[in-house]
Every structure is written in C-alpha cells, then in structure tokens.
C-alpha cells in the first residue's frame, strides 16, 4: 500500500447503521426509541479505534434524538482498575459527549445475572462442567467437525444447582469448575457449542470487592445488560458478528415481550503505522518502550490529546472515514490531515527557533527594542494582531543559512539579502566561527527603510525567515514526535514481533529552543502554529520555570517523501 497525502476531501461513506434505524423508525419499532450504549472494558486506556465507536454511538443517538448509556463491561477483575474507569470517562467527555445520569456497569447486574444463570440451570439449559480448559476446548470440534458433548452435560438440575452454589461459595479453585450454557455441540457456529458463561476467579473486583468469586463471561453479561437497560441498538465491531446468534439466544431465554435489542456490527478502525491491540499497547507501556499510556506517540485518546489533537479533529476524522461492513486499513495521513485542518483555522501563530543560530545586526541601535506587528491567524481576521520584540541580536534557524549554498537555496548566505518576517530586510556580511570551524554567529546589516518587510524601491527577495529576539524570548524544551512504527502494518507479520518495527527516531528532544514572548502565559495543552515549522502544544510537563512543547504535526506531510528516498 502506498501512502498519499490526502489533498482532497475524502468521500464520506453512507452510514448503513443510520439507514437501518431510519427504516425501523418508519415501521414504528421500539415505539420510535433510539437508545445506544458505549461499553468499554476498563482494562486499558481508550485508543483512536474506540473514539470511532464513541462518535458512532453517541452521534447516532444525537441524530435520532435518542439516549446513550456509558456502561463499563467490568466482568474480569484481574485486569480491571479504577484508573482505567476514570480515564475512559475523561476521554469521552473530552471528545464532547455526555451520558447524563446513565453511567452503568456490568457489575450492577451481577445479582440479576446470577439469578438468570440459576434460571437456565433450572430449565435444563445450563450445566456445571468440571473438566479442565484444555479438555473442554478439544471437545469443541472445528468449524467443519461437530463438537463432542461433555460427560457433565446430562447432570441433574439438582446436582448442577448444588455445584453452582458451591462455586459461588468459594469451595473450588480457579479452573476446577465452569458453568456452561447447554445449546448445540453440533452447531456450525462455534460460539453456540455450549459456551462457558461463568468461571471461578478469586480476585477482588474494583467495585464489588470480595463479594463474588464467580464472574460472568462477557458474552453472557453483554446482551443481558443491553436488555435490562432498554438498549435498542447494540453497535459493536465486526468480530462480534459471529457472536450475534449467542447474543440473541440468551435474550430469547430472558425476554418477556416483543422488545429485543438489535446487535449491528461495523468494521473496526485499523490505521497504518499503528498498533491498536490493547494487549500490545499495554506491552509498550509496561516494557517502557513509551512513557505511559498518554505518551504522545501512542494512538490512545489521552496520548493524542497530550500531543495536541483536538476533539473536533478526531470527530471530523471519524466522520470522514465513515461506517462500513468491510474491514480495511485507513491511512494515518488522513488523521494527521484532520488535525492540521482544524488547527490551521484556530491555532495562534507565533515564531519559534528550534535550532538557533545567533545573528548580530551590526548597524541596529544598541539596546533598542522595537515592537513589530504580527498577524495572529491569517485564517481568522478576528484573531487580531500581536507585538513581537525586535532587537540588535536575534536567532534564526541554523538550517536557514548556508555558507556555500547550492543553486536552489534561496535563504540566507554570505552577501545575500532576505526578509525577516514582520521586520526588515537583512544582508549577511560576516560569518563568525569557533576554533573548530563551527559557525557561532552571523553579522548582518539591516535596511531601516524596509520595516514591516517591504522595500520602498520595490526590490524583491526570494526568502522570508522567521526569527526570535535573542534577549526578549522564552526558552523552551521542544519534543519532536514522529510515527512510532516504520512499517505500515507493524503487527501484520506472523513471524516477527511488532516491536521490531519501532521507529528509533520517533522522539527527538531539543533542550534549548527560543519562542517569542507571547507564549509566556501559555497553559498546558494550548496549541500554536510555529511559523514555517508546524503545530505545537504545551505539554503537561511544563513548569513556571520552563515550558515544554510537543510537535503535534508538521505543516505538510513529509512522510511520503522520506519513504521515497
């Protein structure tokens, strides 16, 4: 797959889920109600794929004047933490969505789920199996070969109830007994072959403490939670399509009327140069390949927020990629394009020099400070202007000077004149070097008649440079982030570890950068465009003594060019 910079607006695919709902509303189904839910498992931080699901579930309810529940599917206490619950709520709110008073947990229904399991046992539709996991798995068969019934399958109702109560009482070790639904070991759908619905887990739960030592499986808890909450549309990713018959079977055993939540599957989000598995993201965090879940290189919502992505850019991205029934992979360049497009309209412009080279303007008055008028955002005239201090000594980017320039290099060079943004024309006269031959500063002269960047005699220059006063500035640390992986599908190689494809240059830290004084009062997560350099935001590590900036995105997508070298 070759990557291209998205120059045109992509065609938004029709949302087939909305089409389904529109037809149901015409038919009067569910009394005209639309009620969705976003059901995260609190076992990690949310990533950009979850953001697509959040936008879809909350956005669908908003479109049809419905409701959305936030429900944590907390059925595996060994992997769940309150930290994850709190982070998920923060991420959903930050994206711009609100669940009101509809915050639920699968653990809210543990008593009802237990009673439902007892009901299944009493009706001869569930049994306790004391075989080990390997044996149960081997008896499942294959998609082309039916499974083998467990020798425990025909236990009496009384024996099953007794064993299940003893499971609940904590008499058995983990793995010694499970409760299975009695459905069809010959079903062509492997998920219908007597699935496990309860297992023993001697682990305290983050909400229920040590009350329970048996916990329902996700497939058992999920549909019933939907049913009890009155969910009309249970929207989930495509891998749950084969689970739908089981979802419906459980609800058929529970429901007492015509109402039934409808499960609809859509294709999950896959991005180039990214891993989306929570297990693999956790591995990156635990093995310290990144600096936590909110590392700006991570595809987590908290990482994207810290890097400088805006809620609008992520919502617009989710809208652009649309909702389909076919798995595919989206070019990460489209996500980067979305944040550039959003920040271009709203980010405050400032000048910053990341790799400074001192320039002394020899004919400029000693000690003078001039205030130059600069435009805050050319995309937004209402943003106004600001003053930028100009002094005898300034910094420019080291890359903006060459002592022996090639033919197409138009920036500063000995004897050449360039424009300083919002200021004056300057001409380089002398190059000062240290004992090692390294350039330490340039001596230039300025033309006082060119203030504001225009020449009265009409002469033209071919380059305009950004700059910062050497005495009136804010010193900062700047972190240049790039893609975390060098391969388009880092986890798409069966014979290789995804970490082999990590980009060693995904983070470059520049400790001594100079930004114009305007940023002095900037707060964490404030966004700026550093002119000619890219979009940056204030990192959470910033202090009153030193600001830290993250590069959110370059002004243009240079990745394709780098790959083509």
DSSP state of 334: H
Q: The tokens of 474 are what?
A: 């804010």
- Quick check: is 483 catalytic? no
- The catalytic residue among 155, 193, 199, 278 is 278
Q: Are 37 and 13 in contact (CB under 8 A)?
A: no
- Letter string b/e over residues 80-103, b meaning 16 or more CB atoms within 10 A of that residue's CB: beeebbebbbebbebbebebeeee
Q: Are 247 and 136 in contact (CB under 8 A)?
A: no
- Quick check: is 41 catalytic? yes
- The catalytic residue among 41, 319, 393, 441 is 41
- Quick check: is 93 catalytic? no
Q: What is the C-alpha to C-alpha distance for residues 80 and 225, in angstroms, rounded to an integer? A: 18
Q: Phi, psi (5° rounding) for residue 349?
A: -85, 140
Contacts of 141-146 with C-beta under 8 Å, sequence gap 24+, read 141/185, 141/190, 141/193, 143/188, 143/190, 146/185, 146/186
List the one residue out of 475, 427, 432 whose CA is nearest residue 450.
427
Q: Phi, psi (5° rounding) for residue 183?
A: -120, -85
Residue 438, CA distances (Å) to 217, 442, 445, 453, 468 in order: 66, 12, 22, 30, 21
Q: Which residues neighbour 200 within 8 Å (Cβ) at sequence distance 6 or greater?
A: 167, 172, 173, 174, 175, 176, 177, 178, 213, 214
Sign of the CA dihedral 304, 550, 376, 409?
A: negative
- The catalytic residue among 89, 268, 398, 451 is 268
Q: Which residues neighbour 8 within 8 Å (Cβ) at sequence distance 6 or greater?
A: none
Catalytic positions, written as ranges: 41, 268, 278
């Amino acid at each position: 797959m070759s990557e291209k910079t998205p120059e045109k607006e992509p065609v938004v695919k029709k949302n087939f889920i909305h089409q389904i709902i529109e037809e149901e509303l015409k038919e009067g189904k569910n009394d005209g109600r639309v009620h969705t839910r976003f059901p995260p498992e609190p076992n990690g931080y949310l990533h950009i794929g979850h953001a697509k699901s959040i936008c879809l579930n909350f956005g669908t309810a908003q479109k049809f004047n419905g409701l959305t529940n936030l429900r944590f599917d907390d059925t595996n206490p060994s992997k769940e933490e309150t930290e994850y619950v709190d982070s998920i709520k923060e991420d959903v709110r930050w994206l711009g969505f609100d669940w009101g008073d509809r915050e639920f947990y699968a653990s809210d229904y543990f008593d009802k789920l237990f009673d439902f399991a007892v009901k299944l046992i009493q009706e001869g539709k569930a049994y306790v199996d004391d075989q080990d996991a390997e044996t149960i798995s081997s008896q499942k068969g294959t998609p082309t070969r039916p499974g083998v019934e467990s020798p425990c399958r025909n236990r009496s109702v009384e024996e099953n109830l007794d064993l299940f109560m003893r499971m609940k009482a904590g008499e058995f070790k983990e793995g010694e007994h499970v409760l299975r639904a009695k459905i069809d070991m010959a079903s062509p759908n492997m998920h219908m072959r007597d699935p496990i619905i309860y297992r023993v887990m001697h682990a305290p739960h983050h909400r229920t403490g040590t009350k329970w030592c048996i916990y329902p499986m996700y497939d058992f808890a999920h549909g019933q939670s939907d049913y009890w909450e009155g969910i009309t549309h249970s929207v989930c990713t495509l891998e749950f399509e084969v689970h739908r018959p089981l979802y419906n079977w459980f609800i058929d055993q529970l429901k007492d009327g015509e109402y039934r939540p409808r499960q609809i599957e859509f294709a999950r989000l896959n991005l180039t140069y990214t891993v989306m598995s929570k297990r693999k993201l956790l591995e990156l965090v635990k093995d310290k390949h990144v600096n936590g879940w909110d590392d700006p290189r991570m595809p987590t919502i908290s990482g994207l927020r810290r890097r400088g992505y805006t809620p609008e850019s992520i919502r617009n991205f989710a809208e652009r990629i649309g909702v389909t029934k076919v798995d595919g992979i989206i070019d990460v360049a489209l996500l980067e394009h979305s944040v550039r497009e959003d920040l271009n309209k709203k980010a405050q412009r400032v000048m910053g020099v990341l790799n400074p080279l001192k320039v002394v303007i020899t004919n400029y008055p000693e000690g003078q400070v001039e205030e130059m008028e600069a435009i805050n955002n050319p995309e937004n005239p209402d943003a106004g202007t600001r003053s930028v201090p100009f002094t005898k000594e300034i910094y420019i980017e080291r890359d903006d000077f060459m002592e022996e320039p090639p033919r197409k290099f138009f920036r500063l060079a000995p004897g050449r004149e360039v424009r300083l943004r919002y200021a004056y024309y300057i001409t380089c006269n002398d190059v000062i070097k240290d004992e090692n031959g390294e350039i330490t500063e340039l001596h230039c002269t300025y033309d006082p008649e060119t203030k504001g960047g225009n020449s009265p005699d009409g002469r033209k220059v071919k380059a305009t440079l950004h700059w910062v006063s050497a005495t009136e500035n804010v010193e900062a640390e700047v972190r240049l982030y790039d893609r975390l992986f060098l391969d388009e599908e880092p986890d798409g190689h069966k014979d290789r570890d995804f970490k082999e494809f990590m980009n060693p240059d995904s983070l470059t830290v520049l400790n001594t950068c100079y930004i114009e004084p305007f940023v002095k009062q900037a707060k964490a997560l404030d966004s700026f465009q550093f002119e000619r350099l890219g979009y940056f935001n204030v990192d959470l590590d910033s202090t009153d003594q030193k600001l830290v900036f993250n590069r959110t995105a370059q002004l243009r997508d240079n990745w394709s060019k780098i790959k083509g070298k």
